[in-house]
Structure 1
Amino acid sequence: MEMPGERGKHAWRDDILTHRNQLSTADHDAEALALAETITTVLSAPVGPGPATVAAYVPVRGEPGDLRMLDALAGTGATVLLPVTGEPGPLSWAVYTGAEHLVRRRFGLREPDGPVLPPAVLAGAGVILVPALAVDRRGVRLGRGAGYYDRSLDLADPAARLIAVVRDEELVPVLPEEPHDRRMGWALTPNAGFTPLGATGGPS
């Protein structure tokens, strides 16, 4: 996919969503399996005392990955938090306890049916997987434009590892950036695995 850097966010979104929609079911499944097999290496380094807490999400609408990624994380003993949508603002969260406890809610998203936790719980996550349409080598992330994650990441621990999950071709040289954008420290792609971003190559 050829995508020049000097473009507006709307053009980037249109191109990436078009390419995602053209991806075959078989290719999406293969990429999802690769992500599930790689994801647990994010916990290979300590993220804090006691069981790790990882903030993740349920991929939807062509996003790379599937529930196998969440099951792999939960299988390590980590507490996996998933977003619960509401009014515009920072996301609330709930603990992932298996596919059978996911229900469809606002925007057609699948969310846990357990207790809803306040946005501030994100401060306890040592690793945060962030949905993205693309991310560049500096760590600039392109989202869907709603701003939920930009607001939520303001509550995250500054030392948390922020990881944008994208397809390999969605890790690009340069994306448009705005002052409120929070840079990612890593990209996770199906074939390349974890790629450090930014000048230092460490957490953003």
Structure 2
Amino acid sequence: MDKLNLRRQLLAARTALSPEQLRANATKVREALLEQPWVQMAGLVACYWSAGSEPETHGLVFALWKHGATVILPVLKEDNDLDWAVYDGPDTLAPGRFGIMEPVDTRRGVDAVRTAALVIVPALAVDRTSGVRLGRGGGSYDRALARVGPNVPTVALLHGGELIDGVPAEPHDLRVRFAMTPEGLTRLM
């Protein structure tokens, strides 16, 4: 299946999830991820503020922050690259481009993600064999992942059924090391 049709199929499946299922998925993902020692020890975490039917990260970001991690969230630039700014609590966010909430803190630059000890990214699907991540097609997170060090854990958050075989890949598509679904954490590479 090509990327466009796979995206459509996955987005339709997400739209069909009930609010109760979305909340249950978010709780399972958050709790399982926070149990990982390498998550607990990460001093600087790059994450994202979820929107719509994405796996919800609001509780995860808040929990990481309350446990002492510095959390940076993306700020979408005009060229669709990602700048980063520090999350300093729920009152420090404002709508950015496309209405997605972004931190109002000083922008740290596109290279700020290089210093993260853990990088959590959105995905529509991840290939269970190769770790190739399917995003929404803008390339923002592929650019960000290209800046991440080779030993830094990169985790894509997914709903059930989104860790699949046969995600189409192009040379610019980058892999993630882990996929987190409501069923648990899967190491990919």
Same fold (TM over 0.5): yes
The Cα of 1:187 is off from its aligned counterpart by 0.2
How many Å separate the matches in 1 of 2:19 and 2:71?
A: 26
Distance change in 2, residues 1:169/1:132 (3 Å) = same
Task: Report the counterpart of residue 20 of structure 1 in structure 2.
Answer: 14
Match of 1:179 among 171, 174, 179: 171
Task: Report the counterpart of residue 125 of structure 2 in structure 1.
Answer: 134
Gaps of 5+ in 1: 1-6, 199-204
How many Å separate the matches in 1 of 2:147 and 2:46?
A: 12
Q: Any conservation in 2 of the 1:89–1:151 contact (CA below 8 Å)?
A: no
Over aligned residues, Cα RMSD in angstroms?
1.6
Equivalent runs, 1:1-204 vs 2, <5 Å: 7-42=1-36, 44-45=37-38, 52-137=43-128, 138-190=130-182, 192-198=183-189
Letter of the aligned partner of 1:174 in structure 2? G
Distance change in 2, residues 1:97/1:195 (3 Å) = same
The Cα of 1:66 is off from its aligned counterpart by 3.4
Letter of the aligned partner of 2:136 in structure 1? R
Count the aligned residue pairs.
188
Letter of the aligned partner of 2:180 in structure 1? L
Letter of the aligned partner of 1:21 in structure 2? T
The Cα of 1:89 is off from its aligned counterpart by 4.9
How many Å separate the matches in 2 of 1:22 and 1:171?
A: 18
Equivalent residue of 1:45, what SS?
A: helix
Gaps of 5+ in 2: none
Task: Report the counterpart of residue 3 of structure 1 in structure 2.
Answer: none
The CA deviation string for residues 31-71 of structure 1, in whole angstroms up to 9 with x for no partner, is: 111122122234x13898xx611100011120012311111
The CA deviation string for residues 54-98 of structure 1, in whole angstroms up to 9 with x for no partner, is: 100011120012311111111221111100011225311011111
Q: Any conservation in 2 of the 1:120–1:155 contact (CA below 8 Å)?
A: yes
Equivalent residue of 1:61, what SS?
A: coil
Equivalent residue of 1:74, what SS?
A: helix
Equivalent residue of 1:20, what SS?
A: helix
How many Å separate the matches in 1 of 2:188 and 2:62?
A: 26
Task: Report the counterpart of residue 201 of structure 1 in structure 2.
Answer: none
Q: Any conservation in 1 of the 2:48–2:122 contact (CA below 8 Å)?
A: yes
Letter of the aligned partner of 2:21 in structure 1? D
Equivalent residue of 1:168, what SS?
A: coil
Equivalent residue of 1:120, what SS?
A: helix
Letter of the aligned partner of 1:52 in structure 2? G
